[in-house]
């Protein structure tokens, strides 16, 4: 079978799939090497990951949560994959859902494609490094900027020969990279009600830092507008919110009764740094990780506008499987 991704071809062989599926998919791509094939979008590797997740959970809600996207977006991606294959892969009329015969035949190839592409990517990365071994780390954007960078600088003073490669991305991508063995260490947030969608029984976990989400706003705007979350009267306080599907968005949703507060969401974003910039412009308030705004809280440009009861405790944790560490990764892990 041949998959098309960003103008490249990848040949996937798998004896468990019928020859018709492999031959037809190959001919479609061979004869139509452009970005669209017979009016069907080119293959997206995420569609295969989505399908594998759905085949495992047999539940659209659970699968979309695990993939960290909205259910509607997840459903569209499964439908896009079905359009690419040319047959329904999922029987949506049953509960729980079931794979169709086509879906059962296609699943082994989807898994093989994910595994082979991941292995190929890693081989290319290893070759690119030459003789120098990099410790590979995946981390959420805000952890990478506001915590990990400082830790790497500290550790490198103790291990001058240390070489690191950091991939800053979404929670779902960070988890996928760890599960695939594409990174040595992953840094994410943990919360008592919300945890990464990953089976961590096969990994060792280190809790590195207790952080907290604090409702903050620009000092001048808060003073001029009288913003404080204890106020129930007057105009609603503009709220700069996280995407509901993001980890921090889920933490806030599960920890705070938003509807009980006199606030109005005026902006939604998935990145802490973007929201931080809007905060400093006086656009509203947001729950921010203390590690992300520590400097601003100290110099007074940002102030807390809620009581202690509205602070939310989270933990920055590292996950890894030390069994596969080389010496560099083992040393770094010991010093985290």
The domain ranges of the chain are 2-124, 128-208+316-335, 210-314
pLDDT value for 17? 38
Superfamily of domain 128-208+316-335: Periplasmic binding protein-like II (3.40.190.10)
Note whether 287 and 302 are within 8 A (CB).
no
CATH topology of domain 2-124: Arc Repressor Mutant, subunit A (1.10.10)
- CA end-to-end span of the chain: 43
Query: Could you confirm whether domain 210-314 is CATH 3.40.190.10?
Result: yes
pLDDT value for 132? 58
pLDDT value for 28? 43
Q: d(Cα 148, Cα 162) in Å, to the nearest integer?
A: 14
Q: Which residues of the chain have pLDDT under 70?
A: 1-41, 119, 122-123, 125-132, 199-200
pLDDT value for 127? 67
128-208+316-335 and 210-314, same CATH topology? yes
pTM exceeding 0.85: no
Note whether 171 and 314 are within 8 A (CB).
no
pLDDT value for 63? 86
pLDDT value for 43? 80
């Amino acid at each position: 079978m041949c998959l098309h991704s960003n103008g490249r071809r990848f040949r996937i062989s798998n004896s468990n799939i019928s020859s018709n599926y492999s031959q037809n998919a190959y001919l479609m791509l061979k004869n139509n090497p452009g970005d669209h094939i017979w009016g069907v979008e080119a293959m997206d590797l995420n569609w295969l990951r989505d399908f594998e997740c759905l085949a495992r959970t047999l539940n659209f809600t659970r699968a979309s949560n695990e993939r960290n996207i909205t259910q509607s977006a997840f459903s569209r991606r499964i439908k896009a994959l079905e359009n690419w294959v040319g047959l329904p892969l999922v029987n949506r009329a049953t509960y729980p859902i079931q794979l169709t015969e086509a879906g059962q035949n296609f699943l082994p190839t989807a898994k093989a494609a994910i595994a082979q592409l991941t292995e190929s990517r890693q081989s290319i990365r290893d070759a690119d490094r030459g003789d120098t071994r990099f410790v590979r780390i995946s981390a959420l954007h805000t952890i990478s900027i506001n915590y990990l960078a400082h830790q790497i600088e500290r550790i490198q003073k103790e291990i001058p020969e240390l070489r690191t490669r950091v991939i800053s991305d979404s929670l779902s991508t960070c988890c996928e990279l760890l599960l695939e063995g594409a990174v040595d260490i992953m840094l994410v947030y943990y919360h008592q009600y919300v945890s990464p969608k990953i089976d961590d029984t096969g990994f060792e976990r280190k809790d590195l830092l207790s952080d907290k989400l604090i409702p903050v706003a620009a000092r001048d705007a808060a003073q001029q507008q009288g913003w404080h979350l204890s106020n129930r009267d007057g105009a609603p306080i503009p709220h700069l919110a996280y995407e509901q599907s993001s980890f921090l968005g889920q933490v806030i949703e599960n920890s705070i009764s938003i509807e009980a507060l006199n606030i109005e969401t005026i902006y939604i974003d998935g990145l802490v740094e973007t929201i931080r910039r809007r905060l400093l412009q006086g656009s509203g308030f947001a729950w921010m990780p203390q590690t992300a705004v520590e400097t601003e809280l100290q110099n007074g440009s940002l102030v807390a506008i809620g009581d202690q009861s509205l602070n939310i405790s989270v933990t920055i944790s590292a996950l890894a499987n030390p069994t596969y560490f080389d010496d560099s990764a083992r040393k770094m892990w010991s010093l985290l």
